Structure 1
Amino acid sequence: MAVFSMPPPADERELLARAQALAGLSFAQIAAHLGRQVPRDLRRAKGWVGELLELALGATSGSQAAPDFPALGVEMKTLPLWADGRPKESTYVCTVPLTDFDACWETSWIRRKLNRVLWLPVEAQTGVPLSVRRVGMALLWSPNSEEEAMLRADWEELMDMVCLGQLEMITAHYGVCLQIRPKAANGDALCEGIGEDGARVRTLPRGFYLRSTFTAALLGRYYASWSFSEN
C-alpha cells in the first residue's frame, strides 16, 4: 500500500483549514486516505497518532530541531482527551538543556516551541479501539501575556535549579504550568548534566512538559464545552 502525505501548507490559514477538516474523522478514515495501517494499539507504536496527523497536514520537520511547519513557525501538538474533554496526560514540549543552557527566556528553545502551536485534540478514552478514535476541532494558539508570564516564571525557576546542579532535587511537583520529568527509553539512556559541585555527571535526559491543568484551562478558554461523547 502506497503511503501518501500532504504538501506543506502555504500559510496559517491553509494549515488551520486542513486541521479543521479532520474534525470528527476517525484514525481509520485518515489512515485509509494516506495509505497507512492502523496498529492494534499504541503500546508498540508510540508516536503513531502524531506521525499520522503530521502526514495529513503536511508537516516537514520530522526529527529536526525545528517547528513541525518550519516555514510557518508553527508547532503541532496532539492533546489526548478523556471522553468528557479532560486532558489525559501532560504534554511533552521539548528536551531540557542540561549543559548548554539557554541564556534567557526570550531566546530559549521552549519559548520558540510554544510561540505558535496548532493543538489537535484526539480521543484517548480507555476501551475505545484506536481505529475508531476521532480527532477534535483544531486550535491555533499563541500564549497571551498571562500565560507567557506563568510559563516564563516556571522556566526560570526550573532552569535555575538545573544550572545550580540540583537535577536530582527536581520533581514533577515543581512548576505551576511547566514541569521537568525524566525522558528516556530506559535507565541506561544517560546524558551529561551538571552536578552540585559544577562537575559533569551522567544523568537521565529530562523533558519539559505542560501540566494537564494548564491545557485544561486552555481548552476552557477557547471552547465553550468539549466532550467526545457528544460529538
Structure 2
Amino acid sequence: MITQTLTQLLVQAQSIAGLTFGELADTLGIPVPPDLKRDKGWVGMLLETALGATAGSKAEQDFAHLGVELKTLPINEQGFPLETTFVSLAPLIQNSGVQWENSHVRHKLSCVLWIPIEGSRHIALRDRHIGAPILWQPTPEQERQLKQDWEELMDYITLGRLHEITARIGEVMQLRPKGANSKAITKGIGKYGEVVDTLPLGFYLRKEFTAGILRDFLGY
C-alpha cells in the first residue's frame, strides 16, 4: 500500500503511535528478533512496511512521491536521543560542482517524518513503544547550521584532507566511517590529488540537533 498524500501519511503514523513493536509486528505478520545485534535495520523496516514506504534500499527519499524521508529516533526515558542519525553517504570522488543547494544531504533533510521510539536496552524489543510522529522541515537557522557544517566537511573531502577528518568537526553534523566493517573500502582523494583507498564516510546528525527538534515539537 502506497501512502498517497501527506495527510494520509501523518494519519497512518499517528495511528501506530502508542503501539509496541510487538503489537505492530504481529499485526503485519513480521517476526520480532530477540534483539537488534544482527538485525540493526529491523525497526526501520517495520515502520516502512507499516507506513507504505517505497524507496527500499534506493538512494531516494523513503516517500519520494511526497518528498518525505522517514527517520526513527531512539530515545531514553528522559526523551533524549540515544544515538546520532545517519543521513547519507558522503561523495568522496566525482564531487566537483556539488553545492549545498543540490546536495544529497539537503535533499534528504528537506522534509523528515521523525518517529521517536523507546530505545533503552533494558526494555525487551517486543515491549518498546512507538512515539508520536513529527513532520519536520529545517528552520532557516537549522538550514544555516547544516549548510555551514556540510560545506566545511566537504572542503576536507575535496581538498584531499580525509586523514584530518574527525567526529569532532561540525556543529550539528559530523562525518564518520560508514561501513559494515573496516574491510569496506571505497575510493577517495588523497592529499596530493591522487585517488586513494579509504573507508566510506557518512553524514550524521548530532544528538543535540535532533534533541532540539524534539524540544521544538513538544514546546519546552
TM bracket, shorter-chain basis = over 0.9
Deviation at 1:126, TM superposition (A): 2.0
Work out the CA distance in 2 between the residues paired with 1:122 and 1:152.
28
Q: Within 5 Å, which residues of 2 pair with 1:1-231?
A: 7-101=1-95, 103-224=98-219
Larger mean Cα displacement after TM superposition, 102-111 or 75-84: 102-111
Q: Taking structure 2 as the reference length, what is the TM-score of the superposition?
A: 0.98
- What CA distance in whole angstroms lies between the structure 2 residues aligned with 1:210 and 1:40? 28
Encode CA deviations 1:106-160: one digit per residue, 9 max, x unaligned.
0001100000100000000121000000100000111010000000000000000
- The 2-side partners of 1:115 and 1:168 are apart by 30
Quick one: which amino acid aligns to residue 77 of structure 1? Answer: K
Moved over 2 A (4+): none
TM-score, normalised with respect to structure 1: 0.93
Return the alpha-carbon distance in structure 1 between the equivalents of residues 59 and 88 of structure 2.
10
Structure 1, unpaired ranges of 5+: 1-6, 226-231
Deviation, structure 1 residue 224? 3.4
CA distance in 2, matches of 1:71, 1:186: 33
Overall identity of the aligned pairs, in %: 49
